[in-house]
Amino acid sequence: FGIYVLLIVSVTLSPATAAAQSENDATREDVYPPLWDLAPENLLDFPVKDNKIVINPWNYLQRLGMYKILLNSSIKYFTTFGSQNFGNILWGLPLQHGWQFRTGRLADPSHVTSCGYEDGDLLCISVRSWWSCMNYYLAAIPFLGAVEAGLFGQLQYEVEILPPEEKTDAFCYSVADCRSRIPKLMDDWKAYFEVNNSKSSATFFSFTLDDALHFMWRAHVASIAYALPKFHDSLKYLSDPEANFGEDWANGVDFIAATHFSTDFLTTNNFQAFLPQRMLVEGDVLPFISEFSPQQNRVLLALRALHKANQLTG
């Protein structure tokens, strides 16, 4: 059954389809995360205070900037996998973050604050958002793992991540802090960046895209597995269909990871075209959401079925 569902997803989201797209498509502004050009490009674009580079991951542009810096700093390891860094498998992270922002999933779902809304602070990322909290473990933790692995070389300053206004105990904020709280997860992300760094050493010829995908997906899955129980209570702010989709998506990533799905620029963009382009609301019934394409309905239904099968079989 699981193989059947994966076939539906993989046929719909075939990497071959993405590969068939001209790289000229990548010049279109809408295939980049929203406001990509405005995001910080290097570490010193962030403020320095008390000899620390201070990053606010509760601002969309600053969190996006962490991804942009990771991409810029790892470009040399992916030159053989496509021009303009399009073959870099880290593209999946900022593109997913951009999809979350574009579809309103980073805004305050409780509507207690105006965080993330046009009539408030549009660039604000709400700590009440299940999506934003889950994404923290796929943004700040990879970034700090890269710092620890030496991706950015010897830094003049320490890196400090700012806490949110609430739920501060749910996150860690520096290499030392995260190393003490979540050593295994830090090890996983550090290992990913170290396998890339090995390309510049004597093991140059051992680097393959599949190696990188293995370590990246292992860390990705570990981040979600760690964060999922931690933020289960945040699902209460979402409609039942959206909460179900969130859990279905988290479950589905395990299966996508097992295929070593390539999260390069073109493939990820092709993939995300089949994700819901708005929040799900009460009354949305799969696979009959009229605003969604047949492919979007199919993917949502496949993820739901896969999650239910996992629950039924333990």
Least confident of 26-35, 161-170, 215-224, 255-264: 26-35
In degrees to the nearest 10, what's the CA dihedral of 142, 92, 254, 110? Answer: 80
**Cβ burial, residue 195 (10 Å; 0-12/13-18/19+):** buried
- Is cis: bond before 287, omega within 30 of 0? yes
DSSP state of 291: T
CA distances from 279 to 105, 122, 131, 192, 228 (A): 7, 16, 11, 32, 19
Q: Pick the closest to residue 96 from 109, 82, 106 (CA basis).
A: 106
Q: What is the pLDDT of residues 159-173, one digit of tens each?
A: 999 999 999 999 999
Q: What is the mean pLDDT of residues 23-46?
A: 83
Domains of the chain, by residue range, sit at: 30-313
* 124-135 tens-digit pLDDT: 999 999 999 999
Q: What's the rounded Cα separation, in Å, for the pair 80 and 158?
A: 32
What letter represents residue 162's amino acid? L
pTM: 0.90
> pLDDT tens across 202-238, in order?
343 345 889 999 999 999 999 999 999 999 999 999 9
Rounded Cα distance between 30 and 4, Å, is: 32
pLDDT for 197 equals 66
* Nearest CA-CA partner of 274 in 248, 252, 292: 292
The stretch 143-148 carries a mean pLDDT of 98
| C-alpha–C-alpha distance, residues 210 and 26, integer Å | 24
Residue count (the chain): 314
Amino acid at 56: N
Could you tell me the CA-to-CA distances from 203 to 14, 45, 162, 200, 206 in Å, in that order?
32, 33, 37, 8, 5
Rounded (5°) CA angle 35-36-38:
70
DSSP 140: H
* Sheet containing 48-49: order of strands: 48-49, 52-55, 158-161
Cβ atoms 157, 49 nearer than 8 A: no
Closest-CA residue to 167 (of 137, 139, 133, 142): 133
Query: Measuring CA to CA, how many Å separate 142 from each of 33, 67, 201?
Result: 18, 9, 22
Mean pLDDT, rounded, for 251-265: 94
Tokens of 141: 């933790």
**Residue 158: exposed, middle, or buried by beta-carbon count in 10 A (0-12, 13-18, 19+)?**
middle
Task: State the average pLDDT for the chain.
Answer: 90
Task: Specify the 3-state DSSP secondary structure of 49.
Answer: strand
pLDDT at 117 over 90: yes
